[in-house]
Structure 1
Amino acid sequence: MPDLVSVNYRKYDGSLHWNLRMRRLGEDGHGVWLGLPAGAVMRKGYGPPVPIECAHVILFPHEVWWTAVFNAAPRETEVYCDIATPPEWVSDHEVTMVDLDLDVLRKRTDGSTLLVDQDEFAEHQVRYRYPADVIAEAEAAGRWLMDAVDGRAEPFGNAFEPWLGMVDGERP
């Protein structure tokens, strides 16, 4: 039986956000890698299953304020980074973090790198009363990711490719 991990993104008030179960692929100097083939599902909160069109892997780095999703083609977004509190491993089979709204993504079509959801980040600073240090860490992570993702610094160059190859073409 594959080593499955529950991935639980939460909002700052503790409510369940995006969540899914993924297969543990391994760990390297960048962090822990989990993956899913195309056709798997995820949920937003306790809502209905949302099908995942393309294989993808998620990197959970150690002690940084982001996670990174690497999508297989033909998905338009090649890299999608969630700015979040550092991933907390509740157990070997569960990881959780607080999604802080800001996202950095790289488009496959033209290679452009974008910082998105600044409006949601501003709104949630008020709604959830983000402390000043959380705001500062999220903003710093956004700046760092914009440079690293755009510059294709690892793991945003090709370090993810072998991990993605482990799930691309599989069936859930």
Structure 2
Amino acid sequence: MTSLVQVNYRKYDGTLHWNMRMRRLGEDEHGVWLGLPPHSVTRKGEGPEVPTECAYVVLFPRGTWWTAVFNAPPRSTEVYCDITTPVEWVSPEEVTMVDLDLDVLRKRADGATLLVDEDEFAEHQVRYGYPADVIAQAEAAGRWLMEAVGGGAEPFGEAYRPWLAMVADGNA
């Protein structure tokens, strides 16, 4: 039986952002891997459940300023990295981090790698009063991810595929 983990992305003021219960798949040199089979649900804050059509896995690396989502086809975004504070494992059944707005994604069709939500990042620096070191870490993570995701460095090349296969058929 696969254990479930509560995943809580928060905003800098502590309010709940995206959250879901995911299946613990395992751990490797890249970090802890959790998965959601197709036709699962997520939530934004305390809002209604949001259905997910495609399976995906999330990598929670150790000590980095990002998390990474790897989507199954036919989702148009293959890789979606949230720039966050380093993850905190509250318990083996709960992980949390602060979403710092910037995202790096890779499109499935043409492999285009994009840095998005820079406007939201700028706005939230003022609204939430991000400290200078948090801004610097987020910007550095964005630069690193653009190169790593765009170049297919691991775990953005092939490392995620076996984990995704574990949930893609809906049987994990």
Q: TM-score range by the shorter chain?
A: over 0.9
Q: What SS is found at the alignment partner of 1:137?
A: helix
Q: Distance in 2 between matches of 1:112 and 1:158?
A: 17
Corresponding residue for residue 5 of structure 2: 5
Q: What SS is found at the alignment partner of 1:167?
A: helix
Corresponding residue for residue 93 of structure 1: 93
Structure 2 gaps of 5+ residues are none
Matched to 1:104, the amino acid is V
Q: Distance in 2 between matches of 1:20 and 1:114?
A: 25
Corresponding residue for residue 112 of structure 1: 112
Report the alpha carbon displacement of residue 171 of structure 1 after superposing the two structures with TM: 5.8
- 1:31-80 per-position Cα deviation (integer Å, ceiling 9, x unaligned): 00000111000000000000011000000000000000000000000000
Corresponding residue for residue 76 of structure 2: 76
Runs of at least 4 residues of structure 1 off by over 3 A? none
Instruction: Write the mapping of 1:153-164 to structure 2, written as runs, cut at 5 A.
Output: 153-164=153-164
Matched to 2:3, the amino acid is D
Q: Distance in 2 between matches of 1:12 and 1:171?
A: 35
Q: Distance in 2 between matches of 1:171 and 1:52?
A: 16
Matched to 1:135, the amino acid is I
Alpha-carbon contact 2:2-2:25 (below 8 Å) kept? no
1:103 aligns with 2:106: no
Report the alpha carbon displacement of residue 169 of structure 1 after superposing the two structures with TM: 1.4
CA RMSD of aligned residues (A): 0.9
Identity percentage of aligned residues: 76
Q: What SS is found at the alignment partner of 2:42?
A: strand
Corresponding residue for residue 24 of structure 2: 24
Name the TM-score, length of structure 1 as normaliser: 0.99
Matched to 2:43, the amino acid is R
Q: Distance in 1 between matches of 2:55 and 2:98?
A: 24
Structure 1 gaps of 5+ residues are none
Instruction: Write the mapping of 1:50-65 to structure 2, written as runs, cut at 5 A.
Output: 50-65=50-65
Report the alpha carbon displacement of residue 2 of structure 1 after superposing the two structures with TM: 2.5
Q: What SS is found at the alignment partner of 2:168?
A: coil
Count matched residues: 172
Alpha-carbon contact 1:9-1:17 (below 8 Å) kept? yes
- 1:82-134 per-position Cα deviation (integer Å, ceiling 9, x unaligned): 00000000000000000000000000011000000000000000000000000
Q: Distance in 2 between matches of 1:169 and 1:29?
A: 25
Matched to 2:28, the amino acid is D
Q: What SS is found at the alignment partner of 2:123?
A: helix
Q: Distance in 2 between matches of 1:117 and 1:131?
A: 19
Q: Distance in 2 between matches of 1:21 and 1:5?
A: 5
Alpha-carbon contact 1:33-1:163 (below 8 Å) kept? yes
